[in-house]
Amino acid sequence: MTDTIEILLKKALKKLSIECPDTIVIERSRRPEYGHFTSNIAMMLARHLKKAPLQIADSIVGAMDEKPELIEKVEVKAPGFINFFIASQAFQRIVSKVLNDGKDFGRSNLGRGAKAMVEFVSANPTGPLTVGHGRQAVLGDSIARILKWNGYNVDREYYYNDAGRQMRLLGHSTYIRYRQLLGFDDKLTDDHYQGEYIIDIAGNIKEQFGDRFIDDPENEIFKKSAEEAIFEDIKRTLSDLDIKFDKFYNEKSLYDDGLIDDVLERLQVKNATYKKDDAIWFRAGDYGAAEDRVLWKSVVDEATYRLPDIVYHETKYKRGYDLMVDIFGADHHATYPDVLAGLRALGYDTENIKVLIHQFVTLTRAGEKFKMSTRKANYVTLSELIEEVGKDVVRYFYIMRGMKSHLNFDLELAKTEGDENPVFYLQYAHARISSILRNASVKGLSNTDDADLSLLSEEETLALINTLSEFSEVCILCGKTMEPQTLTTYLQRLATAFHKFYTVHRVISNDKALSKARLTLVKAVQIVLANGLNLLGVSAPERM
């Protein structure tokens, strides 16, 4: 609809010999008395034309040729808005399109087949995924779904490090627990990982090998056993959220393949590094970052995390990705600019890297907050949260607030089975429509192919169809902004419009023709609800 309105405005401007702006803003009206769509183009042109916006708006409307069938009328309102009223039959055709497109309704070709990678979670295998990891996991998977829906070829990737200090501490923590299980009085320090999962891993080693490694703290079995067990737990938790990765990329391979040395050497050749205080520094400030950063500590002969992150991102370019989406927690806001600076120093255009930062999660139960620390084991695992409230609630709650906002995950609300629970509200709308359709089948009204959609003309009915028509626009907007919350907000509005329609109008009545028309409409609503919930990874039940 917006395309048709834009063409109409452009033709009128051409007829008036007015140069068309680069962007014509067309928005949905917030109030029905101002039409269905509105444009502020007259106010945008006022300064350039040195005329009053109302005068310009009147001229534009007067210059419009015969209006398309879908536009019923056009009005000008102060201070210069041009408002468009859409004809009922145009909305009625939306219902037919939804039914014809079915599971594909709302898809777009925004991405035009471009190759995209979404990197998310990327937690090192040092412990179970926590509630904090969950937000990133659901955001990443939802964004990947939305990009694919909008015509991108999408890969999901998990990047992790199985070397370095954290993994050494993990191995040593397992060794100490192993010694304790053998009766020794070894103590964990504050630096060690102290969760019960370490005891379970150590117990498996003891059961399989007895005391064979009692005096061998550096044996690879401790780190390897812990890593394998924890990664299996991570993958199982992600699977419970219906999240699957196309690739797990190991940081260690960057060293094994010589890529770390290669990038460090190339940066040195470009004079992008210098030596100072037994370290190799990157001139990050010369490439858009806040200040110079250490890439390599000569004292310990080890890279800082920024260097392998730069190298890893270069592999994304080499693998041919047109769009690279990185999803990080708020604790990364000061570090990712250094990685982008490193890529620029290597000669890459970083415009195709989209870094999305999400804020932290607070989990509350009965008004009390949980503190989360993987090392101290004072945390709630993501798996425990899924078990308590279910996959659908977890996924929806993580994305019903914008990623830039702190998320308070309210367990009491999450476990509520009523309209105040937004997940229940949406799923109940879908299930209610299924119930209506089952009832229609019993009454011999399952075939609605001959429905007369011109009967869909009541105010609540047209308002519902108008909301239906927004779905494609919302999907494209989500594809551009990569903010799933926009979709959750839309689905709530759609469910509200359906409930209002259902309250006012009986879908199945003694009027067979009207019943068929309304059944066709609720089928369309159900399709859009299901498509939207699928994009969020939430199920659309037929019974509740």
pLDDT digits 0-9 by tens, 15-40: 999 998 888 999 998 888 888 999 99
User: Average per-residue pLDDT in the chain?
Assistant: 93
- Final residue of a domain: which of 27, 60, 86? 86
Q: What is the distance between the terminal CA atoms of the chain, rounded to a whole angstrom?
A: 36
Mean pLDDT for the stretch of residues 114-132: 94
Separation of alpha carbons 469 and 69, rounded Å: 17
One domain, residues 81 and 172: no
Separation of alpha carbons 504 and 502, rounded Å: 6
What does the block give as tokens for 109? 């070709």
Separation of alpha carbons 415 and 428, rounded Å: 15
Separation of alpha carbons 304 and 386, rounded Å: 35
Angle at 257 between CA 156 and CA 304, to 5 degrees: 75
What does the block give as tokens for 336? 């990712």
Q: Who's near 365: CB < 8 A, 6+ residues apart?
A: 411, 412
Angle at 13 between CA 10 and CA 16, to 5 degrees: 155
Q: Tokens 């009625």 belong to which residue?
A: 92
Separation of alpha carbons 484 and 147, rounded Å: 11
- Final residue of a domain: which of 209, 240, 271? 240
One domain, residues 528 and 438: yes
User: For 31, how many CA atoms within 13 A lie in the half-sphere containing its CB?
Assistant: 3
- In this prediction, residue 380 has a pLDDT band, given cuts at 50, 70 and 90, of confident
Strand pairing category for 323-329 and 273-276: unpaired
Omega prior to 21 cis, within 30 of 0: no
Look at residues 272, 275, 274, 265 and name the one whose alpha carbon lies nearest to residue 286.
272
Q: Who's near 542: CB < 8 A, 6+ residues apart?
A: 430, 431, 434
CATH code, domain carrying 442: 1.10.730.10
Q: Tokens 């998310």 belong to which residue?
A: 120
Q: Give 493-521 pLDDT, tens digit per residue.
A: 999 999 999 999 999 999 999 999 999 99
One domain, residues 425 and 526: yes
Number of domains making up the chain: 3
Separation of alpha carbons 372 and 109, rounded Å: 41
Say if 9 falls within a structural domain: yes
Say if 366 falls within a structural domain: no
Say if 407 falls within a structural domain: no
- In this prediction, residue 302 has a pLDDT band, given cuts at 50, 70 and 90, of confident
- In this prediction, residue 194 has a pLDDT band, given cuts at 50, 70 and 90, of confident
Output the pLDDT for position 378. 59
pLDDT value at 166 more than 90: no
Burial grade of 329 (CB within 10 A; 0-12, 13-18, 19 or more): middle
Separation of alpha carbons 354 and 324, rounded Å: 6
Determine contact, residues 356/325, Cβ cutoff 8 Å. Answer: yes
pLDDT value at 164 more than 90: no
Q: Give 315-332 pLDDT, tens digit per residue.
A: 999 999 999 999 999 988
Look at residues 347, 354, 345 and name the one whose alpha carbon lies nearest to residue 284.
345
Q: Give 430-467 pLDDT, tens digit per residue.
A: 999 999 999 999 999 989 999 999 999 888 899 999 99
Mean pLDDT for the stretch of residues 263-282: 95
One domain, residues 67 and 171: no
- In this prediction, residue 57 has a pLDDT band, given cuts at 50, 70 and 90, of very high
One domain, residues 518 and 423: yes
Separation of alpha carbons 295 and 310, rounded Å: 10
Q: Note the Cα 354 to chain centre separation in Å.
A: 13
CATH code, domain carrying 33: 3.30.1360.70
Angle at 131 between CA 128 and CA 133, to 5 degrees: 70
- Final residue of a domain: which of 205, 224, 240? 240
Look at residues 156, 485, 488 and name the one whose alpha carbon lies nearest to residue 325.
156
One domain, residues 67 and 170: no
Say if 189 falls within a structural domain: yes
Q: Note the Cα 27 to chain centre separation in Å.
A: 24
> Computed from CA positions of residues 108, 110, 116, 120, in that sequence, does the dihedral angle turn out positive or negative?
negative
Distance set, CA 530 to CA 239, 516, 524, 541 (Å): 21, 21, 10, 9
- Domain hosting 189: range is 164-240
Beta strands in 40-103 (DSSP E): 71-77, 81-86
Separation of alpha carbons 169 and 356, rounded Å: 30
- In this prediction, residue 415 has a pLDDT band, given cuts at 50, 70 and 90, of very high
CB atoms under 10 Å from CB of 412, counted, come to 11
Indicate the residue type of 123: A
Separation of alpha carbons 528 and 487, rounded Å: 11
Angle at 380 between CA 378 and CA 384, to 5 degrees: 145
Separation of alpha carbons 64 and 58, rounded Å: 10
299: three-class secondary structure by DSSP = coil
Say if 233 falls within a structural domain: yes
Determine contact, residues 53/80, Cβ cutoff 8 Å. Answer: yes
Look at residues 423, 416, 373, 418 and name the one whose alpha carbon lies nearest to residue 398.
423
- In this prediction, residue 396 has a pLDDT band, given cuts at 50, 70 and 90, of very high
Say if 488 falls within a structural domain: yes
Residue 414 phi/psi, 5-degree rounding, is -60, -30
Say if 490 falls within a structural domain: yes
Looking at the chain, the whole-number percentage of residues with pLDDT higher than 70 is: 98
Say if 401 falls within a structural domain: no
Mean pLDDT for the stretch of residues 257-275: 96
